[in-house]
Amino acid sequence: MMQGQFASPVTLFNFTQKTCNLSITRIERSCHNRVMETKMKKLIFLTIGFALAFSACGTKVESVQPLAISASEAFELYQNGTFLLDVRTLEEWNDFHVENATLIPLDELPDRLNELPKDETIVVICLGGGRSASGRDVLLDAGFTQVTSVSGGLEEWVGNGYPVTVEP
């Protein structure tokens, strides 16, 4: 009779074991779900990263040039051997010009693009800065990527005391 009133230790243990198993299973599931969620996030980020990396393969990153620079910045580039393109007229060029600059008048520029280096920085200059900006835009539209213009032109260049060649 005593056994009928009380549960046997084995039954009690089994009940307790089932309860513990149920609690552990819920915790394990919750933990498992968090682990899987973290793994999925990592997988998504890796997939996006690989997609971006493969899409960038073979593309060349060009250095970004400002649209216009000052005469002092242009002079510094000039001293380092940067290609200087003068877009003034031949008559203006004959009055004075920067030594080793290349003359291609603005109205001839679209027809003479093949004379310019595509893989070098080009600094475009004129007398006051207006034509050099137009010349820069012609080059950018033609696919040149490393192009800038001198905002103050040769007026600022000469005003800063930078050298020019004066024709007699």
Q: CB count, 10 Å around CB of 73?
A: 15
Residue-wise pLDDT tens digits, 132-150: 999 999 999 999 999 999 9
Domain membership of residue 18 as a residue range: 2-56
Q: Is residue 109 part of a domain?
A: yes
Q: Is residue 52 part of a domain?
A: yes
Kindly tell me if the per-residue pLDDT of 13 is higher than 50: no
Maximal C-alpha separation, the chain: 133
Between CA 168 and CA 154 the distance in angstroms is 18
Please check whether residues 92 and 52 belong to one and the same domain.
Answer: no
Q: Is residue 63 part of a domain?
A: no
49: its two tokens? 């990263």
Q: What is the mean pLDDT of the chain?
A: 81
Length of the chain in terms of residues written: 168
Residue-wise pLDDT tens digits, 61-118: 444 568 999 999 999 999 999 999 999 999 999 999 999 999 999 999 999 999 999 9
Please check whether residues 105 and 135 belong to one and the same domain.
Answer: yes
91: its two tokens? 């008559």
Between CA 54 and CA 50 the distance in angstroms is 6
Please check whether residues 89 and 22 belong to one and the same domain.
Answer: no
Between CA 142 and CA 110 the distance in angstroms is 8
- pTM higher than 0.75, yes or no? no
Kindly tell me if the per-residue pLDDT of 152 is higher than 70: yes
Q: How many distinct structural domains can be found in the chain?
A: 2
Q: CB count, 10 Å around CB of 44?
A: 10
Between 37 and 118, residue with greater pLDDT:
118
